[in-house]
Structure 1
Amino acid sequence: MRYASITSRLADLGSGKWSLHIRARQLKASGADLIELTIGEPDLPPDRALLDECQRAMNAGRYRYSNGRGEPAIVAALAEKYRRRRADVTAANILCFPGTQTALFAVMLGLTEAGDGVLVGDPLYATYEGVIRATGAHPVLVPLKPEHGFHMRAEDLERAVTPACRVLLLNTPHNPTGAVLTAAEIAAIGEVARRHDLWIVCDEVYEELVFDAVFASPFDNPDLAERTVVVSSISKSHAAPGFRSGWAIGPAEFTERLLPVSETMLFGQQPFIADMTAYALTHEIDTARQMREAYRGRAGRIAMALARTPGVSVLPPEAGMFALIDVAGTGLSGEAFAWALLEEEGVAVMPGSSFGEQAQDFVRVSLTVPDAPLDEACRRIAALAERCTDRRERRA
């Protein structure tokens, strides 16, 4: 039987990147003593007020058809949120989607097609290559180097640009590295985008989980407003990933042209979830602050626990819910170390190679587990690292 070419383009870009996580879940289901540090599943539940609002909306009959742009309450709430960042934002700049992933897919579908290039930092979030290749476009990787804190540099972006490039996909705060671009870095990157007439699509889902850095965005720079699209959601900020409530914010012409694409795909999100999201955006909810403090503390806890461990070093994140650990000193790649850690010590982490070439010497550790199991995980990581470095020294 015949299939569309998209099935071939995405054949190796689905769950294969998460094979270690899937294996860990299987082991855990069979009763293994396993600590799971793979995915960013918040350990804090959504605020009770959000659940009550969702239930209230359902009981009030808010389960009928919606519209392609978004329910009036959520559109108004988003307009107000982003107007605090840029005064010219109106409802015409907003499209609502079921989560950031869907927003990204639709935006890429609206901006790129076969043969186009999409510039994206390496390391990159695991689904980015898929949303790029789904349209027939191809990723053009910009190295994010450990010696620069994994911050994208304008000169590296300039070197990567090709005549086929149409879009720059930014992610700040960044997953998996936790890097937060400064306003100056964004201005320099934006100047490259202007020279080459590139759209800037910025994934800002970790905006409210910045530790001590200052959040900055191309959306807030008036010189970049005409070419910037922001995607985000309440998944991370309000510990509500399962509710799938996200959005895209961009120029009015962009949203008008993308609206038929969105309507053809989805024709709106669930009104009761839209009402809950509007409530989340218009009320003081403490969830993000609690997570921010917890994740900052846990990142420091990991760094302290592994400070004297031979062969590994922790890169302190500036934001988000992950930390990277450099394991090159053990003599193993990130991939080999992650699998050995699962099989020998019962700790599941993500191999850096799941996120790109520049992260091959790293493993990514989730900060979304309580302190006690995190401390035990660090003890097991140290045990493996010590065995590996001992073997390496004996061979030398």
Structure 2
Amino acid sequence: MRYASITDRLADLGSGRWALHMAARRMKAEGEPIIELTIGEPDLPPHQDLLDECARAMYAGRTRYSNGRGEPAVLKALVEKYAKRRPGVTEKNFLCFPGTQSALYAVMTGLVEAGDGVLVGDPLYATYEGVIASTGAHLIPVPLRPENRFHLQVQDLERAITPEARVLLLNTPHNPTGAVLTAAEIAAIGAICRKHDLWIVCDEVYEQLIFGTDFASPFDMPELAERTIVVSSISKSHAAPGFRSGWAAGPEEFCAKLLPVSETMLFGVQPFIADMAALALSRPFETAGIMKANYSRRAAIIEKTLTGSNLLKPMMPEGGMFVVVDVTGTGLSGEAYAWELLRKEKVAVMPGSSFGHQAAGFVRISLTVPDDVLEDAVKRMAHLASSLIANPQSDSDKLRA
């Protein structure tokens, strides 16, 4: 039988990136005491008021069809939120989606196609490559270097731009590294995008999870307003990943052109979840503040536990819910080290290679477990690292970094 070419383009870009995570879940289901540090799933529940509102709306009959742009209450709340950042936005600057992932998929579908290129910092979130490939466009990696704390450098961006480049996909705060771009850095990046007439798509799902620095966005800069699209959701900020409520914010013309694409894909979100999202956006909740304090403290636990180690070197994040650790001192790649860690120490972390070439010597640790569990896991990581040096494998058995 014949299949569309998209199935070939995405054949190796789906769940294979999460093979270790799924193996750990299988081991855990079979009764093994796995410490799971793989995915970014908040360890707090959504606020009770949000759960109550979702249930209230569902039982009140808010289970019928929505419209393609979004429920009025959510659009109103989005206008109020983003008008504080950029005055003058209206409901015509927004489209609602079931989560950031579907928003990003639709946005890329509306911007690029076969033959086009999308610039993305490497390391990158694991689904970006698939989102880009689904359109027929190709990914153009821009190295994010550890010596620059994984902040995108304009000279690296300029060197990477090709005649086919149409879009720069930014992610700040960044997954997996936790890097947070400054306003000055974004302005400099924006100048390059203006020079080469590039769209800027900015994934800001970790906007409320920043440690000790300020959030900045190209959406807030008037000179970039006509070329910037933001995707985000309540998944991380309100500890509600399973509710799938997100949005895209961008120029009015872009949203008008993308609306039929969105309607063809989804034709609306779930109204009872939209009511919950409207409440989440309309008033402050302490959830993000609690998570931010937890994640910052836990990142410090990793740093303290590994102080003095020349085998495992954590890169402290500026935001988000992860820490990346350089494991090249063990002589193994991040992939090999992560599998050894799961097998020997029953700790599951994500191999850096799931996030691009530049992260191949790293593993990513989720900060979404209690402090004592995290400290135990990191001690096991250090124990494995020491044992690898004390009892080296043959070169043929290693996957070198």
Interval containing the TM-score (normalised by the shorter chain): over 0.9
Aligned residue in 1 for 2:153: 153
Instruction: Letter of the 2:81 partner, please give it.
Output: K
User: What SS does the aligned partner of 1:368 have?
Assistant: coil
- Map Cα deviations across residues 221-269 of structure 1 (whole Å, 9 max, x no partner): 1100000000000000000000000000000000000000000000000
Asked whether the 8 Å contact 1:311–1:385 carries over to 2, the reply is yes
Distance apart, 1:394 and its partner CA: 12
User: What SS does the aligned partner of 1:207 have?
Assistant: coil
Spell out the pairing of 1:65-80 with structure 2 (5 A cutoff).
65-80=65-80
Spell out the pairing of 1:52-201 with structure 2 (5 A cutoff).
52-201=52-201
Aligned equivalents of 2:313 and 2:114: distance in 1?
41
Aligned equivalents of 1:291 and 1:175: distance in 2?
16
Aligned equivalents of 1:103 and 1:282: distance in 2?
21
Aligned residue in 2 for 1:319: 319
Distance apart, 1:88 and its partner CA: 1.4
Aligned residue in 1 for 2:237: 237
Aligned equivalents of 1:310 and 1:26: distance in 2?
33
User: What SS does the aligned partner of 1:208 have?
Assistant: coil
User: What SS does the aligned partner of 1:349 have?
Assistant: strand
Aligned equivalents of 1:393 and 1:109: distance in 2?
46
Q: Percent identity?
A: 68
Aligned residue in 2 for 1:373: 373
Instruction: Letter of the 1:95 partner, please give it.
Output: L
Asked whether the 8 Å contact 1:309–1:386 carries over to 2, the reply is no
Instruction: Letter of the 1:257 partner, please give it.
Output: K
User: What SS does the aligned partner of 2:208 have?
Assistant: helix
Distance apart, 1:309 and its partner CA: 3.0
Aligned equivalents of 1:310 and 1:172: distance in 2?
29
Distance apart, 1:372 and its partner CA: 1.5
Aligned residue in 2 for 1:274: 274
Aligned residue in 1 for 2:350: 350
The alpha-carbon distance between structure 1 residues 112 and 309, as it changes in their structure 2 partners (threshold 3 A), is same
Instruction: Letter of the 2:203 partner, please give it.
Output: D
Instruction: Letter of the 1:286 partner, please give it.
Output: E
Distance apart, 1:389 and its partner CA: 2.4
Spell out the pairing of 1:332-351 with structure 2 (5 A cutoff).
332-351=332-351
User: What SS does the aligned partner of 2:89 have?
Assistant: coil
- Map Cα deviations across residues 128-157 of structure 1 (whole Å, 9 max, x no partner): 000000000000000000000000011100
Aligned equivalents of 2:95 and 2:284: distance in 1?
23
Distance apart, 1:376 and its partner CA: 1.0
Instruction: Letter of the 1:273 partner, please give it.
Output: I
Aligned equivalents of 1:193 and 1:394: distance in 2?
48
Aligned equivalents of 1:314 and 1:136: distance in 2?
36
Aligned residue in 2 for 1:24: 24
Asked whether the 8 Å contact 1:173–1:179 carries over to 2, the reply is yes
Aligned residue in 2 for 1:219: 219
Distance apart, 1:308 and its partner CA: 2.7
Instruction: Letter of the 2:235 partner, please give it.
Output: S
Aligned residue in 1 for 2:360: 360
Aligned residue in 1 for 2:391: 391
Spell out the pairing of 1:281-320 with structure 2 (5 A cutoff).
281-320=281-320
- Map Cα deviations across residues 309-365 of structure 1 (whole Å, 9 max, x no partner): 341111100000000011111111111100000001000000000000100110000
Aligned residue in 1 for 2:398: none
Asked whether the 8 Å contact 1:310–1:386 carries over to 2, the reply is no
Aligned equivalents of 1:158 and 1:307: distance in 2?
37
Aligned equivalents of 2:19 and 2:394: distance in 1?
32
Aligned residue in 2 for 1:36: 36
Aligned equivalents of 2:28 and 2:391: distance in 1?
29
Aligned equivalents of 1:359 and 1:393: distance in 2?
23
Asked whether the 8 Å contact 1:76–1:91 carries over to 2, the reply is yes
Instruction: Letter of the 1:234 partner, please give it.
Output: I
Instruction: Letter of the 1:202 partner, please give it.
Output: C
Aligned equivalents of 1:357 and 1:392: distance in 2?
25
Aligned equivalents of 1:378 and 1:201: distance in 2?
35
Distance apart, 1:392 and its partner CA: 5.1
Aligned equivalents of 1:332 and 1:394: distance in 2?
11
- Map Cα deviations across residues 259-293 of structure 1 (whole Å, 9 max, x no partner): 00000000000001111000001122100000000
Distance apart, 1:379 and its partner CA: 1.4
Asked whether the 8 Å contact 1:310–1:389 carries over to 2, the reply is no
User: What SS does the aligned partner of 1:52 have?
Assistant: helix
Confirm whether residue 265 of structure 1 aligns to residue 268 of structure 2: no
TM-score after normalising by structure 2: 0.97
Aligned equivalents of 2:272 and 2:167: distance in 1?
34
TM-align CA RMSD: 1.2
* Stretches of structure 1 lacking an aligned partner (at least 5 in a row): none
Distance apart, 1:393 and its partner CA: 11
Aligned equivalents of 1:394 and 1:131: distance in 2?
39
Moved over 2 A (4+): 389-395
* Stretches of structure 2 lacking an aligned partner (at least 5 in a row): 396-401
- Map Cα deviations across residues 177-201 of structure 1 (whole Å, 9 max, x no partner): 0000000110110011001100000
TM-score after normalising by structure 1: 0.98
